[in-house]
Chains A and B, each alone.
Chain A
Amino acid sequence: MLTPTEIIALRLSLQVALSAVAFSLPLAVLVAWALSRVDFAGKSLLHAFVHLPLVLPPVVIGYFLLVLFGTRGPIGGWLDEAFGLRLIFSRSGAALAAAVMSFPLMVRAIRLALDAVDRRLEDAARTLGATRFDVFFNVTLPLMLPGIISGCIVAFAAALGDFGATITFVGNVEGETQTLSLAIYSLAQSPDGDAAALRLVIISLVLALAALLFSEWVARRVRTYIGRA
């Protein structure tokens, strides 16, 4: 049904998008917490910084990543030296690009969920002997769950679809960084690739629909679980 190259591109896309979501989730919760609950100097700066990928052209983000994480960049050089880790032209790099691009969407969804948590429930939990840490994991986090899940799905979809930042940062290497979007682009460029491109477009469509339906289903389950249904 699917050709081996299609399977490679699909598997790579899923891998990149899932690891992008998995790695940015804890950081997104932390940043959402800071933006929603903590007052500190430079808060608006953090807010602006996190949301940059939404307003900048993806190519610019890719270029920044190249400068920072390239083998001679300040972070990339250190990673190469300390761990022998090269992000450039690698699927880890593709995941990083996807994570950065989808990060603001995830933070936004989680922050909204956090704002909606009734602080009075947290107060009640503390009067019952729970420390702040305890309250976060046993009251706040479960109540945020629907927002966290929808944040993950939105971020997953965005990560799946990134093109500009990925191609600028990690290039278009088949089997390594050529995700579905990049593969469609490549096929559309070649004179006899139309039919193959269309097949990939349909795969993307099915994937996107599946993600949406899955998120709907999970959100319903979770709402019942936390008693909001």
Chain B
Amino acid sequence: MSSPGEARLAVRVGRRLGDFSFACDIDVPLAGVTALFGASGAGKTTFINLVAGLQRPDSGRIVVGSRVFFDSEARVNEPVERRELGIVFQDARLFPHLTVHKNLMFGLRRARRRTAAPHIAFDAVVQLLGLAGMLERRPHTLSGGERQRVAVGRALLAQPRLLLMDEPLASLDGPRKAEVLPYIERLSDELDVPIVYVSHAVDEVLRLARRLVVLDRGMVVASGLVDDVLPDPAVARLFPAIEAGSLLHCVVRSHDERYGLSLLELEGGGVLRVPRVDLATGAALRVRIPARDVALSLSQPLDVSTVNRLPGTIIDMNRLDVTHIDVRVALGNARPMRARVTREAADRLGLAAGQPVWCLIKSVALDRATLLMAPDPGSEATESTLAIDPRGSRASRK
């Protein structure tokens, strides 16, 4: 999309509200999907409201691309309606007195008054979000998932410079989530609109986002590419849900139908066996392996059941607490693998930096709960997403 150094979203603001103080400093490129991640109460919705202009910061500066929305020193505060943002609220907020069609047109009609040629077309959005069959319906007759899709379409048709999505799936149950997620996924690919996706669900973040900003109690804890931020132990400590782990870039090499396994080739060498995934050979994906699912061995183990054995060299060791230690292992040219072992085991084996070791990963550990797959945005291969049946080895393409 856009080259680095181009348009950016820069938010450096402070706001106090009773006990809660929000002091964030975010500066990310205005391109692709950026996830804003944090537990509830971290200030995610405050962030959306401040950027949208629904709340006013006490001080600071909010810049989206070439537009200064707020600058306390220059006394700039653009009104909400002139910020040209698309906001998808957690609770859809469709207008109950208007049909789906009129809801969709609400932003588009007003956008047409300021721009002669809207670049996001009505038909394209209707098709992309699968809204054709519900245009004449009223919001109260729609399901939660349908409502959220209409809300996304309505925001897009306002021709936004930036689409802000505030936990758009949080109010939906599992199946509804699975229904909406693929639509959101296609947005960033097919429409050239930068997206900030606010969420506290790791799997959504991994599936959708390339960049990640982690918020905690109104402060930015980490910010950068998902690959770099997610394994950060500081982030992992804050959020047990994204416990420390490794993100490996893989390509599907082949499938073993007899045993229901797929062979994934790691970038930089090595092969991973995982429960059968429904992807064509050659497809690229990211595999996340939690550190606690990786065991270490000094010699190549030949008589254990663990099928994934990857040779590497210890880069460094990081003591977590009195019991545990995190070991980073270099795997050839690939990204390092993180393993969590007890300090007792590390001492017994005499683990130290520079030492060659074997990383052992049980295939069955790579089920849906731990093996989160996301399209690999760094690859030219067809981007794909998949879900693995939590109970078995069958995986189905969404």
Residues of A participating in the B interface, judged by any CB pair closer than 8 Å = 118, 120-121, 123-131, 134, 138-139, 142-143, 225-229
Contact = CB atoms under 8 A, between A and B. Distances in A.
Contacts of A226: 96-97
B93 interface: yes
Nearest to B139: A227
Nearest to A143: B97
Contact of A129 (B84, B91, B93, B139): B84
Contacts of A225: 97
Given A123-B54, A127-B86, 19 more contacts: A120-B91, A123-B80, A123-B93, A124-B87, A126-B54, A127-B52, A127-B80, A127-B81, A128-B107, A128-B158, A130-B81, A130-B106, A130-B110, A131-B79, A138-B106, A143-B97, A227-B96, A227-B97, A227-B140
Contacts of A227: 96-97, 138-140
Interface string B94-114: 011100000000110011001
Nearest to B138: A227
B111 A129 contact: yes
Contact of A142 (B97, B107, B158): B97
B80 A139 contact: no
Contact of A121 (B52, B87, B93, B111): B93
Given A128-B158, A129-B81, A120 B97 contact: no
Contacts of B155: 127-128
23 contacts: A121-B96, A123-B80, A124-B87, A124-B89, A126-B79, A126-B80, A126-B81, A127-B54, A127-B81, A127-B87, A129-B81, A129-B84, A129-B110, A129-B111, A129-B114, A130-B110, A134-B81, A143-B96, A225-B97, A226-B96, A227-B96, A228-B140, A229-B140
Q: A-B pairs with the 3 shortest C-beta distances? A: A128-B107, A129-B110, A226-B97
A128 B110 contact: yes
Contacts of B79: 126, 131
Interface in B55-86: 79-86
Interface of B: 52, 54, 79-87, 89, 91, 93, 95-97, 106-107, 110-111, 114, 138-140, 154-155, 158
B106 to A, nearest CB: 5
Contacts of B140: 227-229
Contacts of B97: 142-143, 225-227
Contacts of A143: 96-97
A125 B139 contact: no
Nearest to A145: B97
A127 B157 CA distance: 12
A3 to B, nearest CB: 46
A33 B85 CA distance: 28
Which residue, of B54, B80, B140, has the highest number of chain A Cβ atoms within 10 A? B80
A228 B96 contact: yes
Contacts of A142: 97
Which residue, of A120, A225, A227, A228, has the highest number of chain B Cβ atoms within 10 A? A227
B81 A131 contact: yes
Contacts of B85: 127
A138 B91 CA distance: 20
A128 B106 contact: yes
A128 B106 CA distance: 7
